[in-house]
Amino acid sequence: MSSSPFSYTRDQFAALARMVVEHAMRQGASAADTEISEGVGQNVSVRQGEIETIEYNKDKGAGVTVYIGQRRGHASTSDLSEAALKSAVDKALTIARYTAEDEAAGLPDADRLAKNPPDLDLYHPWTLSVEEAAERAQACEAAALAVDKRLTNSEGASVNSHASHFIYANSLGFCDGYAGSRHGISVAVIGEEKGAMQRDYWYTSARNARDLESAEHVGRVAGARTVRRLNGRKLDTRTCPVIFEAPIATGLIGNFVAAVSGGNLYRKSSFLLDSLGQPVFAPHITIRETPFIPGGLGSAPFDNEGVVCLERDVVRDGVVQGYFLSTYSARKLGMASTGNAGGSHTLAVSHGDLDLDGLLKKMGTGLLVTELLGHGANMVTGDYSRGAAGFWVENGEIQYPVEEITIAGNLADMFRGIVAIGRDVERRSSKQVGSILIDHMTVAGN
């Protein structure tokens, strides 16, 4: 493994993980688990053609969780020596002895653990020197600034690469893990006209560097997106249809995931309590969790507890079919884990045949949102209010850019009010969805 960027091999991690679990059991734990991980990364950024930062990170760590009956203790360390790992176990046991019992605490059910998990082709290291990374970043920035003479400044371009691996083990006999990678190129540029400035950006991201868009393409897209925002106007307050462009439509799906995730559900801090089997979306919407896509950014053979992931419809024909549950949250709700400790996996949202231009024509008159500002989604009530920028559309055609507006509604109404989803699917995210047309929202401006 001389070409590996890691300091530890998979076998070394597995041996350490087994040692941790065995030590915990010998010291009095009734159950235990551990995750040991290591990550390496490089980020090179340039601005105005000159290298601005060179960042290199290499970190490692272990987390240990022990149970004494229904009492839980957890400790972590960045020192992977045997002595430090055993010390972390002892500290976790001390914490557990002083912790109140929790009937939902404990390891997953053994029959839920992954057996012979598949290799999902998630690891593709990128051997890229600082000089090569800088050249790509410079090419990206130059391509962006060359789009239009009104592009007068840059926030910089960056090329980054990251790789990691881990092993998870527990006292039920599970011991497995895998390596993963993620690489990216990004740039943001600033345009100026009549004394007013605008900025926009673009990026590409993939597990395999061969799947990245070219640096020049990323730059050209960022430049074009910035230019089209120049001479933005404000709008008078109104109610109208709204299209969320695909890159930000992923956030709406993220809001849904948060609302039907176990933590918010058992704490009763979600506007979608008891939504299982209930229509939440428009009836033409289906959301499928697909964790086993080879090379997928959201792919995983098992979750953070070793529980096998599920390929399933989370929403079918607008009706909620399942939640996102860890072992703990599932027990709190009297349900079974869905293999989502650590979050959702790749979500594929159904879409129609229209591209973004087709959605604009279908909308007729309304607002195309391309940027959102702030965090304005209330998971308890579903109330949604975000600063926004984008374009005013009439007769299916973009008329002019708009800025300094706020869009508002309620997520429950917005989900049911989805008129159509475009086929311009965003694939740089674990939430794969096209642009979303919503029947109406309040747009606050002048």
431-432 and 347-349 strand pairing: parallel
Rounded Cα gap, residues 329 and 31, in angstroms = 18
Average of pLDDT values for 341-345?
96
Whole-number percent of the chain with pLDDT over 90? 97
DSSP assigned state of 99:
S
pLDDT for position 217: 98
Residues facing 381 on adjacent strands = none
Model confidence pLDDT, tens digit, residues 124-144: 999 999 999 999 999 999 999
Average of pLDDT values for 51-73?
97
DSSP assigned state of 101:
P
Rounded Cα gap, residues 85 and 68, in angstroms = 19
Average of pLDDT values for 381-408?
97
Give the list of residues 6+ apart from residue 201 with CB closer than 8 angstroms, or none. 155, 186, 187, 188, 189, 222, 225
Q: What is the largest CA-CA distance in the chain?
A: 73
Average of pLDDT values for 322-344?
97
DSSP assigned state of 100:
P
pLDDT for position 101: 96
pLDDT for position 374: 86
The whole-model pTM stands at: 0.94
Average of pLDDT values for 340-347?
97
Is the Cβ–Cβ distance between 364 and 254 less than 8 Å?
Answer: no
pLDDT for position 376: 86
Give the DSSP H or E segment for 12. helix 10-26
Task: Please give the structure tokens belonging to residue 341.
Answer: 């400790």
pLDDT for position 370: 97
Rounded Cα gap, residues 48 and 141, in angstroms = 8
Q: List the one residue out of 434, 415, 432 whose CA is nearest residue 351.
A: 434
Tell whether the model's pLDDT for residue 1 goes beyond 60: no
Model confidence pLDDT, tens digit, residues 141-163: 999 999 999 999 999 999 999 99
Rounded Cα gap, residues 380 and 386, in angstroms = 16
DSSP assigned state of 194:
T
Is the Cβ–Cβ distance between 228 and 433 less than 8 Å?
Answer: no
Tell whether the model's pLDDT for residue 97 goes beyond 50: yes
Domain ranges of the chain: 10-227, 232-446
pLDDT interval class at 288 (50, 70, 90): very high
Q: Report the mean per-residue pLDDT for the chain.
A: 97
Supply the DSSP string of 321-355, one letter for each residue. ---B--HHHHHHTTS---S-TT----EEE---S--
pLDDT interval class at 395 (50, 70, 90): very high
Rounded Cα gap, residues 34 and 13, in angstroms = 11
pLDDT for position 195: 85
**Collapsed DSSP state (helix, strand, coil) of residue 314:** strand
Tell whether the model's pLDDT for residue 290 goes beyond 80: yes
pLDDT for position 2: 47
Is the Cβ–Cβ distance between 430 and 346 less than 8 Å?
Answer: yes
**Collapsed DSSP state (helix, strand, coil) of residue 204:** strand
Tell whether the model's pLDDT for residue 37 goes beyond 90: yes
Is the Cβ–Cβ distance between 198 and 226 less than 8 Å?
Answer: yes
Give the list of residues 6+ apart from residue 349 with CB closer than 8 angstroms, or none. 253, 285, 286, 287, 421, 431, 432, 433, 434
Average of pLDDT values for 261-276?
97
Average of pLDDT values for 356-362?
98
Q: List the one residue out of 182, 180, 179 whose CA is nearest residue 161.
A: 182
CA–chain centroid gap for 27, Å, is: 38
pLDDT for position 363: 98
Give the list of residues 6+ apart from residue 169 with CB closer than 8 angstroms, or none. 14, 17, 18, 20, 21, 33, 34, 175, 176
Task: Please give the structure tokens belonging to residue 43.
Answer: 């980020």
Q: How far is CA 131 from CA 9, 17, 24, 137, 184, in A?
A: 28, 38, 47, 10, 16
Average of pLDDT values for 413-425?
98
CATH number corresponding to 10-227 = 3.30.2290.10
pLDDT for position 105: 96
Task: Please give the structure tokens belonging to residue 442.
Answer: 């309040």
Supply the DSSP string of 107-147, one letter for each residue. PPPGGGB-SSPPP----------HHHHHHHHHHHHHHHHTT
